[in-house]
A and B are shown apart, each in its own frame.
Chain A
Amino acid sequence: MISPELSETEAIERAKQGDAECFEALYGLHKRRVYSLCLRMTGNTAEAEDLTQEAFLQLYRKIATFRGESAFSTWLHRLAVNVVLMHLRKKGLPEISLDEALEPQHEDGPRKDIGARDNVLAGSIDRVNLERAIESLPPGYRIIFVLHDIEGYEHNEIAEMMGCSIGNSKSQLHKARMKLRDLLKLSRAERAARR
């Protein structure tokens, strides 16, 4: 008989022994964060569900190798990120194309449209609109932004995971934020026009 309440560490140890209920309990504890990560990185519900499934299957296949050097959630999260990136690479990389960051674009260079005090974003956007704007980002920008600004990975970690230079990671993050700024200002203007 399993205790109705169990620490995560105990659940991990029991899952290593093949305890079905502990597998399910670990899934219940982490599914939301893993699925949200997959959804934010892919922008596609069906893909996010498939990738969540694959991430947890890999987790369970490898759980015996988890030694606790890092937090379980950190380990799982990194695993999930790698599953998503591998999936996108298999799709032929356009989803995570670094070319978007490396090729000169019209939005490069100094911005001329900024300066008016009433253009400041602070205080005028909320998280719902920010989520929508993130969904609208080009995939290459979105992945770097999600990994760095939402999930808290450092540029050196992103560069390692993405197979790019640290400079590329910084450049793409900057462009993602600039694009978000444009999207949020547009969203704000549209909301104002509806009133």
Chain B
Amino acid sequence: MSLTVIKAGIQSSIQAAPFRGLRKLAVPSGGAADVLSLALANRLVGKPLEAAAVEVTLGPAEFRAERAMAVAVTGAPCQVAINGEDAEQHETLHLAAGDTISIGRVWAGCRTYLAISVDIAVAPVLGSQSTLIAAGFGGLDGRALADGDVIALEDGDAPPDKITTPAELQPFFGHGFVLRIVGGPESDRLALGMAALSRKRWRVSSRSSRMGLKLQGTAIDLNSAAPIRSGAVFPGIIQCPPDGMPYLIGCEGQTTGGYPRIGQVIRADRHLIGQLAPNATMLLVPVQGEQAEQIHAEKLGLWAEWLPGLALG
């Protein structure tokens, strides 16, 4: 029993929970780049919020069910079709053996999630079924999916009944993003203070992946070029390399770095990094740590009833 990858597209991979507590071994967090969209997809097929699903980058991609199952597609808006017939995102979809589901190129955002009502049968590594593509382990042979791959599935119960994500809980993705940030360990080097980050619009360059995103805009001036001793970086850290163009660390980014860390996307907004595609623009809005904590609590509160136990990191 399986799901066949007909067309993997630019990059599709099996993603589930992040690798937790392993950063001291230099193992990145990884997992779904947009944890909220993963949770919403799994909810629709009756699975735990962090169950393994297929993360599709930009699309298009296509899969064939080799058994009856329910699936759901969430994340970046795109055209979904079953055997060529239009289908909805944010809705439980029933597939019979032999049915194909296609995920079109995204209209905005970056990543879609295909959740499956039966469990994906890949062995967990270091406690997660997620794929660390750069490190080469986890998921299916530690790599992105390729055309013709067969994703083995466990036996499962009868597919769940159809449900739909309540409209007010479906995230909206456009081409512009607002990410809230706190200062980084070396923000005192910003010649113009946090305004250097907040008073400009930043554009995501094509040099972007799950590991990190190079931003384009007005080069940032630092008032010190003294070297930094390598230390921790986390997803959402904004580094300032010598060219002055910020580099935003993604979910699969390295665990330590030696460039000045001039900002940090707050935990509550980090799932949005997974939806930043090349050419997307963003505003970085500074907040205080206590405000960030409150925003995190409010965001969890908004989804608490629909997604109990949601973790944004």
- Tell me if chain B binds chain A: no
B residues contacting A by CB (< 8 A) are none
A residues contacting B by CB (< 8 A) are none
